[in-house]
Amino acid sequence: MSAATIVSLPDQSTARIPKMNFLTKENGLLSWLLTGDHKRIATLYLISITFFFFIGGSLAGLIRLELLTPQTSLMAADTYNKVFTMHGVIMVFLFLVPSVPATIGNFVIPMMVGAKDLALPKVNLLSWYLYIIAGFMVIYTMAAGGVDTGWTFTSPLSTHYLNTHVISTGLAIFVAGFSSIFTGLNFIVTIHKMRCPGMTWFRLPLFVWANYAASILMVLGTPVLAITLVLVVLERTVHIGVFDPAYGGDPILFQHLFWFYSHPAVYIMILPGMGVISEVISTFSRKRVFGYTAVAFSSVAIAVFGFFVWAHHMFIMGISNYAALVFSLLTMLVAVPSAIKIFNWAFTLYKGSITFETPMLYAFGFMGLFTIGGMTGVFLGSTGTDIHLTETYFIVAHFHFVMVGGMLMAFLSGIHFWWPKWTGRMYPEKISQFAAVVTFIGFNFTFFPQFILGTLGMPRRYAAYPPEFQALNVFSTAGATILGVGYLLPVLYLTWSLKYGAIAGNNPWQATGLEWQTQSPPLTENFLETPIMDHEAYDYEWLEQQQQKEVASVG
Amino acid sequence: MSDSTAISNSAAAETHHEHPPYQRHHFETVEQQADTTNFAMWLFLLTEVMFFGGLFTSYLIMRNWYYPAFVEASHQLNIGWGTANTAVLIMSSFTMAMGVWSAETRRKGALVLCLSLTFVLGLAFLGIKTIEYHEKWEKHHVPGLNWSDASFLNPASDPEVHKDYPGDQPLAPDMAQKAQMYFFLYFAMTGMHALHMIIGISILGFMIVRARAGAYTTGHVTYVENFGLYWHFVDIIWIFLFPLLYLISRH
Amino acid sequence: MSEHDGQFEQKEEHEHEHHIVSPVIYLAILLALLVGTGLTVWASFIDLGEWHIAPGLTLFWNPAVALAIACTKMVLVVLFFMHVKYSTKLTKLTVACGVFTFLALIGMTMTDYFSRAWGRW
Ligand SMILES: [Cu+2]
């Protein structure tokens, strides 16, 4: 390793945060609540999803506490059902789905394509309001007594047997769905129509490609979930419907419609995270992403294949054996583009000048954990092993490796990476590296034992379990405690850095994206004049020449 | 995908700063704004297609499962009203298309007339739909709220329909029950469609007021055009609902 | 080498957008749609029979004809009323994308329902 760090900050004694920027442009609550500025809306989103992340996280803490002992010691079984349901609903619909797109994507995509704003600023704001309405509906549900169907709303459990607040939760997810549809729609339109001169499709940063693919899934998949939930709500209100066998309906039809969205939703959640990783890996190994085109198209391939694999969630539900075979094979197919990404990132690292700033540490965490999560997905995608492993803790471990080990790591990586751009100040490096390591250790302690528990046969979604599983559960709960610390730390030091962080300057990472060529925090219009893209993406030589020119002209 | 002449184009766009009042600041040109909103509208319609997709899938499967009940239940629909409504909606699509044409050719009077006709035809559609819904209520064919299996357990008890479809056999009680499933889907699908009509008509009312003030006849046609796309989409949904619900079990 | 792809798309679309469809075409489409409606109502009262393709696989002509007419009407509305015939490739692709995903939802769900009884005759 040649350099220990690539960070280059301006002289701290003279550096100032630019007086005019998107944060200082206007003051007052109304200027925020009625804003059309994508960066302000991203900030609103960041605050709101962090809030819901910690609610969802506390619920996860309660789950782990309950599972510390084999008996139902902390809460009654039906309370436990409500807790894990609310955890799932909040984490999936109010955190993971909007996490990277609505915050980081909202903030950087217009800048990355060289535009002044997203194509439809009012729709963007509407999307945030819908999110907030959905959030309030979920909070109402919790206050009113919660819901205990699991985040999957399995029928006829949700339509017939339970008397909890299925309707308000269902409608909340309906509203949150439209929030996500509008974000996705806005991204697609922006990426097609708002690119600056010279910004061709293959000069776009890979983060944009990844969000483009996720947006397609949002626009085409989410409405199916929306109508499914409408049908569930109707079924509960008029007591006739297409899902409940007691009325002649088909619960497997519900599963088809639900997973038609909810499998692609996994890619809605992970693709933007993959985009973050592409940016971070390239920046901190000072190399163009290996196989740019392959990585770009693998995002689109994941989006397309993602629509043809949903029935792998239904192998044990009584679907046709022949259909199970087809869906199983197609599921193997979708592993290919994900593997392409992992290999290309590895090749990008090869012979790169790697430095280990916090975003890079999180990115490494992502690559390792996502690979494990993805590979165990192949176990679950093959019909034979799925029958043994499904509905056990193996599933829980698998999707937490992908969603928490993958997406949450990517989210934190991205937050640290773009924090200097967002606020104009650096986060404290040492403590954040420490937090990244703590997160990684805590994560593995929490979720790795669950793979073993799953193969041993511990079923998911029960408050009590046979005593022989206790040792591993204690491990898992201890790990969750460490993980909790790992997530609290960033909130503390990032808040601290708002006032005391070092002034970042325009481009502390020496990164090549257009967003780094403007001031931090950016102006409301992002750029002084419409930028012209005259180089390829991740062109570090261009950046060097650019900097030499600047030095020469100043001198 | 390369076009070098486009550069001068964009440079020209940057130099002149006189924008028409309807151009939003973050767009370089009016054309860019028009293209963008048009594309956004199309994407929204994709969302709508998939939204109705869930309903069509459910209908297809339930119809295959409970074929006899769906056949006899569909005989309860009034084909005259259905055909009339289809014609009304197609006419409204035509007047809407003419509205777009009037806006494009800057004919203010014609635009107001076309939009008003579309508005009236939309209301006529909803009126006919109300008559049909009312009839269902009177015959106890509203699932969950006002339901009776009588017409299907004993078709002869429903002389009006029975004289047109004398071949309808009494259904076994569990199959007769499934007629309720047909009407559940009938109300869900036509109701969702009617909801789209109501939203459309409300926007039309707003547009008529703006059109009278001349808002769409000065070259800024995107709003009318995009609304037209929505209206035609709603028409297309009905084009499929009509045969699926009314026609395919008549013979 | 510096090009402006976004601008290019706009330019292309720009040319198309000012293609104003003449009222004569609209009128022709209206008539075609009304004729189609009449045709489909008329056809629905005639028993068109069925075609036994294979054991367990039968095509009923009445729904097939009704859906074919509906699809034709949809194509007319999309191409002319919605101007897709005169629009950019991007718009055409968007429409195709919607149809494709819609068919994927119905088609892939159907693979399950149709093959459930296989081997159980
Ligand atoms: Cu899946």
Indicate whether C77 belongs to any domain.
Answer: yes
The distance of C119 to chain B (nearest Cα, Å) reads 19
**Which run of H or E residues covers position A384?**
helix A383-389
* CB-based contact C2 A197, cutoff 8 Å: yes
On the question of pLDDT at B22 being above 80, the answer is no
Six token digits for residue A364? 């490494």
pLDDT (tens digit per residue) in B134-183: 999 999 999 988 898 888 998 888 888 888 888 888 999 889 989 999 99
* CB-based contact C101 B46, cutoff 8 Å: yes
* CB-based contact C108 A532, cutoff 8 Å: no
Are the C-beta atoms of A476 and A447 separated by less than 8 Å?
A: yes
Q: What's the DSSP call for residue A401?
A: I
Indicate whether A1 belongs to any domain.
Answer: no
Q: Could you please report the per-residue DSSP string of A403-442?
A: IIIIIIHHHHHHHHHHHHHHHSBPPPHHHHHHHHHHHHHH
Mutate: best of B35, B43, B187, partner A, most A CBs <10 A = B43
A474–B contact, CB cutoff 8 A: no
Domain harbouring A188, CATH code: 1.20.210.10
Indicate whether C16 belongs to any domain.
Answer: no
* CB-based contact B51 A227, cutoff 8 Å: yes
Average pLDDT, chain A: 93
Name every chain C residue with its beta carbon within 8 A of the beta carbon of B251.
44-48, 62
For ligand 1, an ion, list residues with CB under 5 A. Answer: A 263
Q: Please give the distance, rounded to the nearest whole angstrom, from the Cα atom of residue A305 to the centre of ligand 1.
A: 11
pLDDT (tens digit per residue) in A233-280: 999 998 889 999 988 899 999 999 999 999 999 999 999 999 999 999
Mutate: best of C37, C47, C65, partner B, most B CBs <10 A = C37
Cβ within 8 Å of B, A 202-231: 219-224, 226-228, 230-231
Name every chain A residue with its beta carbon within 8 A of the beta carbon of C101.
220, 307
Q: Residue A79 to residues A131, A144, A159, A541: CA-CA distances in angstroms?
A: 26, 13, 19, 59
Model confidence at A553, pLDDT cuts 50, 70, 90, reads confident
Indicate whether A23 belongs to any domain.
Answer: no
The distance of A116 to chain B (nearest Cα, Å) reads 5
Model confidence at A554, pLDDT cuts 50, 70, 90, reads low
pLDDT (tens digit per residue) in B95-147: 999 999 999 999 999 999 999 999 999 999 999 999 999 999 999 999 988 89
Name every chain A residue with its beta carbon within 8 A of the beta carbon of B45.
none
For residues C52 and C95, membership in a common domain is answered with no
Query: What is the average per-residue pLDDT within A34-53?
Result: 95
Distance CA B32, CA B23 (A): 10
Indicate whether A120 belongs to any domain.
Answer: yes
* CB-based contact C27 B94, cutoff 8 Å: yes
For residues C38 and C57, membership in a common domain is answered with yes
The distance of C27 to chain A (nearest Cα, Å) reads 33
Model confidence at A135, pLDDT cuts 50, 70, 90, reads very high
* Interface contacts (A, B; CB < 8 Å): 114
For residues C104 and C59, membership in a common domain is answered with no
Strands C50-54 and B141-142: unpaired
Give how many domains chain A has, as a whole number: 1
Are the C-beta atoms of A210 and A271 separated by less than 8 Å?
A: yes
Give residue B12's pLDDT.
41
pLDDT (tens digit per residue) in A215-229: 999 999 999 999 999
Beta-bridge partners for C60: C50
Q: Give the side-chain half-sphere CA count within 13 A for A87.
A: 17
On the question of pLDDT at C13 being above 60, the answer is no
Indicate whether C10 belongs to any domain.
Answer: no
Q: Could you please report the per-residue DSSP string of A118-160?
A: -S-HHHHHHHHHHHHHHHHHHHHHHHHT---STTTT-TTIIII
CB contact burial A314-345 (16+ within 10 A = b; e otherwise): bbeeebbeebbebbbebbeebbebbebbbebb
Domain ranges of chain B: 34-247
Name every chain B residue with its beta carbon within 8 A of the beta carbon of C116.
none
Six token digits for residue A473? 């559960």
Mutate: best of B2, B23, B26, partner A, most A CBs <10 A = B26
* CB-based contact B180 A240, cutoff 8 Å: yes
* CB-based contact A226 B51, cutoff 8 Å: yes
Are the C-beta atoms of B197 and B92 separated by less than 8 Å?
A: no
Position A10: which residue type? Answer: P
Distance CA B76, CA A308 (A): 38
On the question of pLDDT at A210 being above 90, the answer is yes
* CB-based contact A249 B181, cutoff 8 Å: yes
Model confidence at A460, pLDDT cuts 50, 70, 90, reads very high
Indicate whether A103 belongs to any domain.
Answer: yes
Indicate whether C4 belongs to any domain.
Answer: no
Q: Please give the distance, rounded to the nearest whole angstrom, from the Cα atom of residue A324 to the centre of ligand 1.
A: 13
For residues C68 and C102, membership in a common domain is answered with no
For residues C35 and C62, membership in a common domain is answered with yes
| Three-class secondary structure assignment of chain B | CCCCHHHHHHHHHHHCCCCCCCCCCCCCCHHHHHHHHHHHHHHHHHHHHHHHHHHHHHHHHHHHHCHHHHHHHHCCCCHHHHHHHHHHHHHHHHHHHHHHHHHHCCCHHHHHHHHHHHHHHHHHHHHHHHHHHHHHHHCCEECCCEECCHHHHCHHHCHHHHHHCCCCCCCCHHHHHCHHHHHHHHHHHHHHHHHHHHHHHHHHHHHHHHHHCCCCCCCCCHHHHHHHHHHHHHHHHHHHHHHHHHHCCCC
Neighbours of chain A (3+ CB pairs under 8 A): B, C
Name every chain C residue with its beta carbon within 8 A of the beta carbon of B232.
77-78, 81-82
B99–C contact, CB cutoff 8 A: no
pLDDT (tens digit per residue) in A61-104: 999 999 999 998 899 999 999 999 999 999 999 999 999 999 99
Neighbours of chain C (3+ CB pairs under 8 A): A, B
Model confidence at B1, pLDDT cuts 50, 70, 90, reads very low
On the question of pLDDT at C101 being above 70, the answer is yes
User: Which parts of A94-247 fold into alpha helices (H)?
Assistant: 97-98, 106-112, 121-144, 166-193, 206-238
* CB-based contact A320 C112, cutoff 8 Å: yes
Give residue C18's pLDDT.
62
CA nearest A38 in B: which residue?
B26
Cβ contacts of B12 within 8 Å, gap of 6 or more: none
Domain B34-247's class?
A: mainly alpha
Q: Residue A115 to residues A452, A459, A477, A509, A521: CA-CA distances in angstroms?
A: 49, 50, 46, 22, 16
Give how many domains chain C has, as a whole number: 2
For residues C68 and C28, membership in a common domain is answered with yes
Record the pTM: 0.92
On the question of pLDDT at A165 being above 60, the answer is yes
Among the listed residues A370, A403, A345, A374, the one whose alpha carbon sits nearest the alpha carbon of residue A99: A403
The distance of A185 to chain B (nearest Cα, Å) reads 6
The whole domain housing C101 covers 87-115
Model confidence at A3, pLDDT cuts 50, 70, 90, reads low
pLDDT (tens digit per residue) in B190-238: 999 999 999 999 999 999 999 999 889 887 889 999 999 999 999 999 9
For residues C41 and C91, membership in a common domain is answered with no
Q: Please name the member of A188, A193, A250 whose beta carbon is closest to the beta carbon of B35.
A: A193
Among the listed residues A6, A37, A25, the one whose alpha carbon sits nearest the alpha carbon of residue A115: A37
Q: Please name the member of B1, B50, B86 whose beta carbon is closest to the beta carbon of C5.
A: B1
pLDDT (tens digit per residue) in C34-45: 999 999 999 998
Indicate whether A283 belongs to any domain.
Answer: yes
When mean pLDDT is compared across A348-362, A508-522, B20-34, the lowest value belongs to: B20-34
Name every chain C residue with its beta carbon within 8 A of the beta carbon of B249.
62
For residues C67 and C28, membership in a common domain is answered with yes
SS3 A392: strand
The complex scores an ipTM of: 0.93
Q: Please name the member of C5, C108, C115 whose beta carbon is closest to the beta carbon of A322.
A: C115
* CB-based contact B228 C82, cutoff 8 Å: yes
Q: Could you please report the per-residue DSSP string of A299-366?
A: HHHHHHHGGG-GGGG-TTTT--HHHHHHHHHHHHHHHHHHHHHHHHHHHHHTT------HHHHHHHHH
Phi, psi (5° rounding) for residue A62?
-60, -40
Query: What is the average per-residue pLDDT within A132-136?
Result: 97
Are the C-beta atoms of A537 and A210 separated by less than 8 Å?
A: no
